[in-house]
Amino acid sequence: MTLSQGCILCHQGAKLVLFVTGRCHRTCWYCPLSSERKGTDTVFANEYPVDIPAQIIEVAESMSALGTGITGGEPLLVLDKVTAYCRQLKTHFGPEHQIHLYTAKAPTDAELAEMQGLVDEIRLHPPQECWEKIHESDFIRSAKRAKEMGFDIGIEIPALPGLEHLVPALPYVDFLNINELEWGESNAYQMRERGYELADELHNAIEGAKGWAEELCRHDKVHWCSSAFKDSVQLRERLKRIAQNTARAFDEITDDGTIVYGVIKPSESNKGQCLRLCKDTCEPDSYEDCGDRIEMAWWLLTELSDQMDGEKFVIERYPNKGMIVEMTPL
C-alpha cells in the first residue's frame, strides 16, 4: 500500500487543517460542508476562525505541526490566498513543512506553476460523473503535468458506487485515497433519498461503502481511510500534540488528548477566602485565578471541596480552550 507523505503526517496527528474558503463551483450531493462554512469566505485553522494570517502560524505552533492540509470548498477559487498562506508557513517552519491541497478542479498549467515550490502534494477530486471516462478527462492531463512539474499527485474521493472505473487512472498518480462515505448534517436528506443507512450507531460511516471500494482497494496505490480511523487515531493524535503544548501544570491530559481540570465559582464575598486556602495548601502552579472562578487540578478540588463554598465542577474539554466534552458538577 502506498501512503502519501501527507497521510503519514496525518496519521501522527501532525497536520494543520487549513480551510481556505467555503465557496465551491460544484454541488456534490454528498458534500460534507456545514451550513456555517458553506458559501462563506471565512478561513479556519483547525476549528478556529482566522482574522489575520498570523493566527494560522499560532494554531500550527500550538500543535507543533509538521505539515498543512489545505481544504475547502474549492481552494483554487482563492489561489492568491493559498499561495500567500503556503509562503508564510514554509517561511516560518522551513521548506520541509509538507503541504497538501485538495481540489475538485483539474488545475491548469498556470495554476500549477503558481503552486510550484509551495504545495508539495495535490489531491484531485474528480466528480463521480466523470469516473467512467477518467482517462479522457482533464484530471489525467493535470495529473501528468503536475508529475512533470515535481508535485506528488494523487486522487482523493469518497467511497461511492462506481469506484472501479478509476483503475485506469492509477498509472498516472502516486496514490489514490478513498474516504469512507460519511453521513452529516448537510447531506442527511440526500442520504435518505438514496436509501443509505448508517453502518452503526457509533460512527457516521454508511452501510456498504466498504463494498464499493473492494475492487479498487486490491491495488497497491490505493489507501482506504475509514471514518473510525479519522475519529479515533487522527483526531486523538492531533489533540494530544495540542495538549502537550498548551496544557497548564494542573490540567490532566487523557489518553484521548482531552484535558481535565476542576473549577470553582465562589461568590464575590468568599472568593478571597478560597484563594487564601489555595495559597496555603497548594503548589502555586496547581491553581489559577481566572477572575470570576478559580481553576485547579481536579483532584485538588475534590479534596478541598468541603472547605470552599460555591458552584464546583470538573471539566473535560479539547485542549487550548477547545470544545467542552463533559462538565460534571461536584
- Using the rule CB under 6 A, which residue among 24, 43, 56, 99 binds ligand SF4? 24
When asked if residue 235 is in the footprint of ligand SF4 (CB under 6 A), the reply is: no
When asked if residue 170 is in the footprint of ligand SF4 (CB under 6 A), the reply is: no
- Using the rule CB under 6 A, which residue among 28, 130, 198, 253 binds ligand SF4? 28
State the minimum distance, in angstroms, from the CB of residue 74 to ligand SF4. Answer: 6
State the minimum distance, in angstroms, from the CB of residue 157 to ligand SF4. Answer: 10
Q: Count of residues for the chain?
A: 330
Nearer to ligand SF4, 72 or 262 (CB): 72
State the minimum distance, in angstroms, from the CB of residue 251 to ligand SF4. Answer: 36
Task: With contacts defined by CB under 6 A, name the span among 20-28, 200-208, 261-269, 304-312 that binds ligand SF4.
Answer: 20-28
When asked if residue 33 is in the footprint of ligand SF4 (CB under 6 A), the reply is: yes
When asked if residue 26 is in the footprint of ligand SF4 (CB under 6 A), the reply is: yes
Nearer to ligand SF4, 39 or 272 (CB): 39
Task: With contacts defined by CB under 6 A, name the span among 66-74, 136-144, 187-195, 284-292 that binds ligand SF4.
Answer: 66-74
- Name the strand (E) or helix (H) holding 315: strand 311-317
Per-residue interface string for the shown chain with ligand SF4, residues 80-119, x marking contact by CB under 6 A: ------------------------x---------------
The candidate with the shortest Cα–Cα distance to 173, out of 188, 151, 191, is 151
When asked if residue 13 is in the footprint of ligand SF4 (CB under 6 A), the reply is: no
Alpha helices in 179-219 (DSSP H): 188-193, 209-213
Nearer to ligand SF4, 24 or 304 (CB): 24
When asked if residue 65 is in the footprint of ligand SF4 (CB under 6 A), the reply is: no
- Name the strand (E) or helix (H) holding 236: helix 235-246
Neighbouring residues of 166: CB distance < 8 A, sequence distance ≥ 6? 131, 134, 155, 157, 176, 216
State the minimum distance, in angstroms, from the CB of residue 200 to ligand SF4. Answer: 24
Nearer to ligand SF4, 103 or 234 (CB): 103
Nearer to ligand SF4, 3 or 31 (CB): 31
Task: Please give the grid coordinates belonging to residue 195.
Answer: 436509501
When asked if residue 31 is in the footprint of ligand SF4 (CB under 6 A), the reply is: yes
State the minimum distance, in angstroms, from the CB of residue 33 to ligand SF4. Answer: 5
Q: Point out which residues bind ligand SF4 (CB under 6 A).
A: 24, 26-28, 31, 33, 72-74, 104, 125
